[in-house]
Amino acid sequence: MGIYILKRLLLIIPTLFFILLINFVVIQIAPGGPVEQAIQQAEAFQGMGATGGETATAKSNYQGAKGLSEEMVEKIKAQYGFDQPAPERFWMMLKSYVTFDFGTSFFKDKPVTQLLWEKMPVSLSLGLWSTLLIYVVSIPLGIKKARQHGMLFDKSTSMLLAIGYAVPSFVFAVLLIVFFAGGSYFQWFPLQGLVSENFSELSMLGKIKDYFWHMTLPLLAMVIGGFASLTYLTKYSFMEELSKQYVLAARSKGLTESRVLYGHVFRNAMLIVIAGLPEALIGIFFVGNLFIEIIFNLDGLGLLGFEAIQQRDYPVIFGTLFLFTLLGLILRLISDVLYQVIDPRINFDSRGAE
């Protein structure tokens, strides 16, 4: 297993390199970058300076009407680091990323690592709680559906799961706001934010209540939109195991159904669920969080990345991309390690880490 882990860790390096390279090339050819935005703002500022009591002739001679000078444009390029050729900028970025130095945000004037550190608790809080709730709901429900396959319970819950799978989580979020956050009906929960303005003044119990009061609707939207696929994965994994010969042999020995299910079937059936954990975490943390954070105005990594794309804040874009990719690769490696821990028969080293 150690050789396999080492190979996978070494594979992370070229994977990160090519992902950053592809996105760097795409960013370079995309219009409306930070330099263009800064030039437009400067031209608009100069154009405003030409208004007032000046004559039409003076306005036409004003620099804002002609555009910025070449010297000013070069200064703007140097300010954002675009005075160097693209290959040199990419090489400098790679060298700084080795030490996790993601540069400084163009528009927030803060180091990207500081921004990521400040926003991380919100995304982690939302992602961890929603993942826990999704698994707490999905696994027992999937097991019960497998045991009662084709019965009334299975058919009735399948309809609800189909709705949960088809409707995106952000749609549920909007509906929850409309019904329960003062949209049109009830105002039982806050509309936005992770805590109240007087959070620091509350007691410890009051802080806990306030926190979960704000988290209720975002978590509910993510759980409703995310538990369907895991439930079906659990159900069909258990159904496949229940049809195997070792289950029939265990039953023929007079073992109870619960003993057969949780003593023999559970470990084998959970392998495929564990294999899907990294993708589930990535989807919940970095895709589901994005829309939920925007809708509920939760100041986390998803909202930070969305604002960075809007503003063409390249250091923040590449910093969040690097972090998301690295975490995703590590999560997949952890999934493989758990595979062998749960089932020692699996040996990745003997398969050449394929």
Cα-based angle 348, 349, 352 (whole degrees, multiple of 5):
90
Could you give the residue ranges of the DSSP H alpha helices within 62-107? 63-66, 70-79, 86-98
Within 8 A by CB and 6+ apart from 104, the residues are 110, 111, 112, 315
* 67 pLDDT higher than 60: no
Could you write out the DSSP letters of every residue in 3-58? Answer: HHHHHHHHHHHHHHHHHHHHHHHHHHHSSS-HHHHHHHHHHHHHHHHT-SS--HHH
Whether 222 contacts 300, CB under 8 Å? no
Task: Provide the pLDDT confidence category of residue 66 given band limits of 50, 70 and 90.
Answer: very low
The pLDDT, as a whole number, for residue 105 is 83
| Closest listed residue to residue 218, CA positions, set 308, 114, 306, 294 | 294
pLDDT in tens, 123-178: 888 888 888 888 888 888 888 888 888 888 888 888 888 887 787 777 888 888 88
Identify the sign of the CA torsion 86, 92, 96, 101: negative
The pLDDT, as a whole number, for residue 34 is 60
* Residue with token string 């960075």: 308
Cα-based angle 306, 334, 352 (whole degrees, multiple of 5):
120
The pLDDT, as a whole number, for residue 48 is 56
Q: How far is CA 110 from CA 36, 39, 320, in A?
A: 21, 21, 14
Whether 120 contacts 301, CB under 8 Å? yes
Mean pLDDT, all residues of the chain: 75
Q: What is the mean pLDDT of residues 221-248?
A: 81
Q: What is the mean pLDDT of residues 10-21?
A: 85
pLDDT in tens, 259-300: 777 777 777 777 777 766 766 676 666 666 777 888 888 888
At the topology level, CATH places domain 112-351 in: MetI-like fold (1.10.3720)
Q: What is the mean pLDDT of residues 67-78?
A: 61
Task: Provide the pLDDT confidence category of residue 62 given band limits of 50, 70 and 90.
Answer: very low
The pLDDT, as a whole number, for residue 44 is 61
* 203 pLDDT higher than 70: yes
Identify the sign of the CA torsion 37, 41, 46, 50: positive
Q: Phi/psi class of residue 138: alpha, beta or left (left: φ > 0; alpha: ψ in -120 to 50)?
A: alpha
CA pair distance 9, 28, nearest whole angstrom: 29
- Ramachandran angles phi, psi of 298, nearest 5°: -95, 120
* 2 pLDDT higher than 80: no
Comparing 28-32, 179-183, 298-302, the range with the smallest average pLDDT is 28-32
Q: What is the mean pLDDT of residues 238-263?
A: 77
The pLDDT, as a whole number, for residue 63 is 42
In DSSP terms, which residues pair with 187 in a beta bridge? Answer: 181
Comparing 103-107, 117-121, 347-351, the range with the smallest average pLDDT is 347-351
Q: Delimit the domains of the chain by residue range.
A: 32-89, 112-351
